[in-house]
Amino acid sequence: MTDLLPTARSGPALLIKGAPAEDTAHAGPTVARGTRRRLGPGRAVPFGRLIGPVLLVALWWAASASGHLDPRILSGPGSVLSTAADLVSTGRLQDNVLISLQRAGLGLLFGVTAGVVLAVTAGLSRSGEYLLDGPLQIKRAIPSLAMLPLLILWLGIGEQMKVTVIALGVAVNMYINTYASLTSIDSRYVELAEGLDLGRAQFLRKVVVPGSLPGFFVGLRLGVTSSWLGLIVVEQINATSGIGYMMFQAQQYAQSDVIIVGLVAYGIFGFASDAGVRAIERKVLSWRRTLAG
């Protein structure tokens, strides 16, 4: 407010005739308004993204502590924590988590590689587009999990099948989004590259790759999510290890606390991997000016 006064004094000619003097004080909020985009979502708070999950856990804790939650339906946070500690001290949790992470990681790796290679091939050559885009758009309409019976028939029920199912889902997400982003690179930039006599390699490095990165990251985030989804499904089919297997067993013995530990593990990895991708995305795409700022 105080820093407003000098402006008001130095520009008396701007004051509306007949307006009462104290009206200038009301200009305060008008100045403050400039600090925030009016149609944007508002200012960012550090770790604000965690508020929701923390609130949910608090609610769960309150419900079980007050006895409103039957432990046979859902164990309280306390017993889940002690079960988790047990599972960790026996090494059972780590072993299963490790094998699950390995499956998801391999699936993600193969899926991302395949998706990007397909997208670049289809995006940069006509014959690639004609050969690949049709089948992949059709594949997109069939959920990867629907291919499960066929994949089991072909690959059996071992690790190969599990990684393939995950990779398939990831690859389609990567392909669709990277391809869309790549083909929507402004043709004026292509013209610019021609005008500057860029070689093929430079054109790829300076125009195509950065131009398709936004789509690549959308695909990667969806791909990471779909890799967890695929993991959960394949681990409940004839698996003998993994978080899903651990939960499946717990279901047989009605151990809801073990199931919760499994869910939390899935949740933590899902959340952490998405946050990781977002962080990389923010860093790599720092040239973009978006609504979320």
Partner 1 sequence: MATHPGGLITTAPPAVRTTRLVRRFGDRVVLKELDLTVAPGEFTALLGRSGSGKSTLLRAVARLDHTVEGSGELVVPERVSLSFQDSRLLPWLRVLDNVTLGLRGPGARERGLTALEEVGLAGRDRSWPHELSGGEQQRAALARALVREPELLLADEPFGALDALTRIKMHGLLRELYERHRPAVLLVTHDVDEAVELADRVLVLEDGLISVDLAIDLPTPRSRRDARFQEYRDTLLTALGVAQPPLPTTG
> Where on the chain is the footprint of partner 1 (CB under 8 A)?
188-189, 191-198, 202, 206-207, 210-211, 213, 285, 287-289
Helix (H) or strand (E) holding 119: helix 92-124
> Largest Cα–Cα distance of the chain, in whole Å?
87
By C-beta, is 70 or 191 nearer to partner 1? 191
CA distance 211 to 268: 32
Beta carbon nearer to partner 1, 60 or 203: 203
Least CB distance from residue 97 to partner 1, whole Å?
Answer: 37
Task: Say if residue 231 is exposed, middle or buried (CB neighbours under 10 Å; 0-12, 13-18, 19+).
Answer: buried
Q: How far is the CB of 202 from partner 1 (least distance, A)?
A: 6
Q: 89 in helix, strand or coil?
A: helix
Cβ 123 to partner 1 shortest distance, Å = 17
17 three-state secondary structure = coil
Looking at the Cβ atoms of 189 and 248, the one nearer to partner 1 is 189
* Calpha distance 62→69 (Å, rounded): 9
Nearer to partner 1, 32 or 192 (CB): 192
Whole-number minimum distance, CB 216 to partner 1, in Å?
13
Residue 196: how many CB atoms within 10 A of its CB? 10
Nearer to partner 1, 198 or 204 (CB): 198
Min separation Cβ 217 and partner 1, Å: 13
Q: 241 by DSSP, 3-state: which?
A: coil
